[in-house]
């Protein structure tokens, strides 16, 4: 029988494991990078050591982090966000980069079909897969089979509706279609016209406490933390 101290040490080891959050969608422009950088900033502001792994050859997240590092030279009060450019070809090496962190946010390119074995390996390693989807028929056509495939393999996933407008009938229709296919995150991201503005300085809405549209990102962070046990 392990004594109390041994149990506590074991719990610490379990707790110290890096939680892996895979942000993946076969549809381009659905909000993967926007969501990834807001989650990284949330983690940093909470004092959780997090790393972003940028699997996209476009390096959207990497470039954003480089701009953030430059902004922090003048304004060091903005929380630091670490991002590493990695490749899907060498996903094993990429996963080794998570060592020493408590959270890794994996931003991926949209071309899921071209990299299926690598994406599936990342899905296997992930504690949670977030699938952003804009509330349009085109997005749902592309995302629904992906969610079905992930859920069918027993992976823990959640659709995050993006650019959502609750007043439209298309929102209700698209949400209804997705709910039938797999888990849908209880918080959605509304259309936020100025979301790209802070990104030009490597920042996010969360870096300005009075930003319009900050709440859904805070709530998604709370949801993610609970889901992955952070």
Ligand X SMILES: Nc1ncnc2c1ncn2[C@@H]1O[C@H](COP(=O)(O)OP(=O)(O)OP(=O)(O)O)[C@@H](O)[C@H]1O
22: contact with ligand X by CB under 6 A: no
Q: How many residues belong to the site for Mg ion (CB under 5 A)?
A: 3
Q: Would you say 196 or 210 has its CB closer to ligand X?
A: 196
Here the tokens at position 11 are 């719990």
CA 159 to chain centre: 11
CB of 188 to ligand X, least distance (A): 9
162: contact with Mg ion by CB under 5 A: no
Residues 28-87 that bind ligand X (CB under 6 A): 28-34, 56, 60
110: contact with ligand X by CB under 6 A: yes
Q: How far is CA 69 from CA 32, 35, 46, 56, 76, in A?
A: 21, 19, 19, 20, 9
Indicate which single residue of 42, 158, 162, 211 sits in contact with ligand X (rule: CB under 6 A): 162
195: contact with ligand X by CB under 6 A: yes
Helix, strand counts (H, E) of the chain: 9, 6
CB of 213 to ligand X, least distance (A): 8
168: contact with ligand X by CB under 6 A: no
Helix (H) or strand (E) holding 93: helix 91-96
Residue 72 region by backbone torsions, left for phi larger than 0, else alpha for psi between -120 and 50, else beta? alpha
């Amino acid at each position: 029988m392990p004594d109390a101290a041994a149990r506590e040490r074991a719990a610490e080891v379990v707790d110290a494991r890096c939680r892996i959050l895979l942000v993946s969608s076969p549809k381009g422009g659905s909000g993967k990078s926007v969501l990834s950088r807001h989650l990284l900033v949330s983690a940093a502001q909470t004092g959780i050591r997090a790393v972003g792994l940028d699997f996209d050859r476009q390096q959207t997240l990497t470039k954003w982090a480089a701009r953030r590092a430059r902004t922090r030279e003048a304004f060091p009060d903005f929380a630091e966000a670490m991002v590493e450019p990695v490749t899907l070809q060498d996903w094993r090496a990429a996963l080794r980069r998570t060592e020493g962190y408590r959270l890794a946010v994996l931003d991926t390119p949209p071309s899921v079909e071209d990299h299926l074995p690598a994406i599936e390996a990342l899905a296997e390693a992930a504690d949670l897969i977030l699938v952003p989807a804009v509330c349009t028929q085109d997005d749902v056509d592309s995302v629904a089979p992906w969610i079905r495939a992930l859920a069918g393999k027993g992976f823990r996933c959640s659709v995050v509706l993006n650019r959502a407008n609750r007043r439209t009938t298309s929102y209700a229709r698209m949400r209804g279609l997705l709910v039938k296919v797999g888990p849908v995150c209880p918080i959605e991201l509304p259309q936020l016209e100025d979301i790209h503005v802070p990104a030009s300085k490597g920042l996010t809405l969360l870096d300005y406490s009075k930003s319009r549209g900050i709440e859904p990102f805070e709530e998604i962070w709370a949801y993610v933390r609970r889901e992955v046990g952070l």
